[in-house]
Amino acid sequence: MKYFRFVLLAMCLVLNGGLIGCSSSGDGASDSDSDSDSDSDTDSDTDSDTDSDTDSDTDSDTDSDTDSDTDTDTAVPTECELATPMDTAGTFVDSNLATPDEIDYYSITLAAGDFVQIFTDIHDGDGTPQLLDPVITLWNEDGTTLLATADDQIPRVDMDSELIYRAPAAGTYCVAIEGWENWAGQTTGTTTDWNYSIAALLMDPAQVGWTTNLLNPETETNDTIGSANTMTMVLGSSNATFGRAYGDLSGATDVDVFTYTLPVSAVATSIGFYKPFGAGAAGVQGHGSTLTDGMFTLTDMSGNVISTLDVSFDGSDWVAPNNPPDANVPMAGGTQVAVHFEGGTGWTPGANDFYVLEIINQTSDNTGEVETNDTAGTASTTTFAANTSGGYSGFLMGTIDPAATDVDYWSFSAVAGEEIALACGAASNGSGLVGATFAIHNASDTLIQTETESGYDTILWSSVTGASMAAITVTASATYYLVISATSQSASMTANHYRCGIHRTP
Ligand SMILES: [Ca+2]
Ligand SMILES: [Ca+2]
Ligand SMILES: [Ca+2]
Ligand SMILES: [Ca+2]
């Protein structure tokens, strides 16, 4: 969606200082998230190596033949029956759309249970509106049933689109690519270059094109820690590791358990619902999973619950536009843990309840608090660095321990006229803190503005659309305080952390 795109881009600039990646940094997470995300993007880099295959010319000929007769029947894509075959080995098809309302169709053949990632490669960043803004849609073989339609990717790095789908049955599937304006029903647009590249790549660890150790498909039976699937992970920069765990729920009682060990140098583990739930709601307006509600639980190897997230994929639990909540849990390096995935509250089994989790073990984190910091006079210090928006960002984290008693003060200096934006998360970061409250006080320790987290609600004080409260503009050059507390600790998990980013804009 064009509208969300702009908002999300703006959020990345505000919250993330213009650093690449807009993933969990919306919650005030540290920069290391972005690093890890960009590592995972190397999948597509690897894929583009296969681009040198030159069968694309043939494909574009076929396209123009197919498209010339039917610009108007976009609602009923009978062209699926004439679609050009495309492999699932990641070979790019290079072609173009002849008119703004043209849709090109390709067919792929999948076996039952196959996961496939379909993706475009047009953009290397935003800010080039003349290039085609592609949307990928998946139909059944004859184009009579819409299976999924996805714009962009999560985390969104540019206007390219990705769609992950699990084939519930063996057969031929129809892939459509079109411009965003046509997809959104708009009659005018700014696109002047209609060239595109599109590919499909099986999510099979044996399939060339994937980074070794990234893909961790489930193998049943894996319903307990004792029978869990052991994950492999990709080693990224600064010894961070990451991997994708994915599968489907076969019946109401299915639980899928994956185990992994954090690197010795790790300080936190992040678990996120991955692409099936991004860029649209659950179901066909997204990646085609019928899973409406998903829950994962992070435990130690004895089953003690550290963190859990129980999320509805209808968007109501989104932390930010297009961004479901994810757990970012401080953990000791070398720890072995288990992630249990199951249907969330409100879920009833559907026909194709698939999921993808992305797990990142981080080796750096936001600045930690120094207790005792329960008063303005003993506040922990916030460290700021210049961001690319011309301002300064400070990232911090701590624990409220015990809840209802501990109070954490963080001090920072601000200059008269500066705008102070705040992004914070506790429950929305997989913490068991209940009623986490984030407040800014002035130099006299007098409250300026406060907000209490409810559910997985966004704590985002900013001028961007989707913010929970307005940013603050300070009137005096002085010391200010971010003050954090919570009413209680959930009895069902031990994580008690919070994370914040403070962003000062002159
Ligand atoms: Ca399963
Ligand atoms: Ca299972
Ligand atoms: Ca504390
Ligand atoms: Ca404290």
What was the pLDDT predicted at 2? 26
Q: Which ligand is nearest to the CA of 409?
A: 4
Classify residue 32 as left (phi > 0), alpha (psi -120 to 50) or beta: alpha
Classify residue 141 as left (phi > 0), alpha (psi -120 to 50) or beta: alpha
Tokens 């108007």 sit on residue: 72
Amino acid at 249: L
Confidence of residue 275 (pLDDT cuts 50, 70, 90): low
Distance 139 CA to ligand 2 centre (A): 28
Distance 89 CA to ligand 3 centre (A): 50
Provide the residues around ligand 1 (an ion) whose CB is within 5 A.
Answer: 247, 254, 256
What was the pLDDT predicted at 457? 84
Mean pLDDT confidence for 358-371:
97
What was the pLDDT predicted at 23? 30
Buried b (16+ CB within 10 A) or exposed e, 251-271: eeebbbbbbbbbbeebbbbbb
Q: Taking 90 as the threshold, does the pLDDT of residue 495 lie above it?
A: yes
Distance 246 CA to ligand 1 centre (A): 9
On whether the CB atoms of residues 423 and 460 are closer than 8 A, the answer is yes
Mean pLDDT confidence for 376-396:
97
Instruction: Compute the CA torsion angle 119, 122, 126, 129 (nearest 10 deg).
Output: -120
Mean pLDDT confidence for 440-457:
96
Of 124-128, 245-249, 319-323, where does the model show the most confidence? 245-249
Distance 250 CA to ligand 2 centre (A): 7
Q: Which is higher by pLDDT, 16 or 434?
A: 434
pLDDT, tens only, 195-208: 999 999 999 999 99
Q: Which ligand is nearest to the CA of 340?
A: 2
Buried b (16+ CB within 10 A) or exposed e, 348-357: eebebbbbbb
Distance 133 CA to ligand 1 centre (A): 35
Distance 163 CA to ligand 1 centre (A): 21
Tokens 């002159």 sit on residue: 506
Would you call 480 helix, strand, or coil by DSSP?
A: strand
What was the pLDDT predicted at 73? 42
Distance 294 CA to ligand 2 centre (A): 14
Among 324, 304, 267, 330, smallest CA distance to 496 is for 330
Distance 267 CA to ligand 4 centre (A): 21
Confidence of residue 310 (pLDDT cuts 50, 70, 90): very high
Among 449, 455, 448, smallest CA distance to 325 is for 455
**Rounded distance, CA 472 to CA 431, Å?**
26
Distance 293 CA to ligand 1 centre (A): 15
Confidence of residue 301 (pLDDT cuts 50, 70, 90): very high
Among 269, 200, 265, smallest CA distance to 231 is for 269
Distance 345 CA to ligand 1 centre (A): 17
Spatial neighbors of 424 by CB under 8 A, at least 6 apart, are: 27, 28, 436, 438, 453, 459, 484, 498, 499, 500, 501
pTM: 0.83
For the chain, what percent of residues have pLDDT higher than 70? 80
Mean pLDDT confidence for 409-417:
98
Computed over every residue of the chain, the mean pLDDT equals 83
pLDDT, tens only, 149-180: 988 776 677 888 999 999 999 999 999 999 98
Distance 372 CA to ligand 4 centre (A): 5
**Rounded distance, CA 22 to CA 139, Å?**
30
Mean pLDDT confidence for 77-88:
89
The pair of structure tokens assigned to 208 is 């060339």
Distance 474 CA to ligand 3 centre (A): 26
Q: Taking 80 as the threshold, does the pLDDT of residue 24 lie above it?
A: no
In three-state form (DSSP H/G/I as H, E/B as E, the rest C), the secondary structure along 25-91 is HHHCCCCHHHHHHHHHCHHHHHHHHHHHCCCHHHHHHHHHHHHCCCCCCCCCCHHHHHCEECCCECC
**Rounded distance, CA 394 to CA 422, Å?**
10
Q: Which ligand is nearest to the CA of 396?
A: 3
Q: Which ligand is nearest to the CA of 248?
A: 1
Distance 402 CA to ligand 3 centre (A): 8
Distance 181 CA to ligand 3 centre (A): 49
What was the pLDDT predicted at 128? 65
Mean pLDDT confidence for 294-314:
94
Bridge partners of 105, per DSSP, are: 176
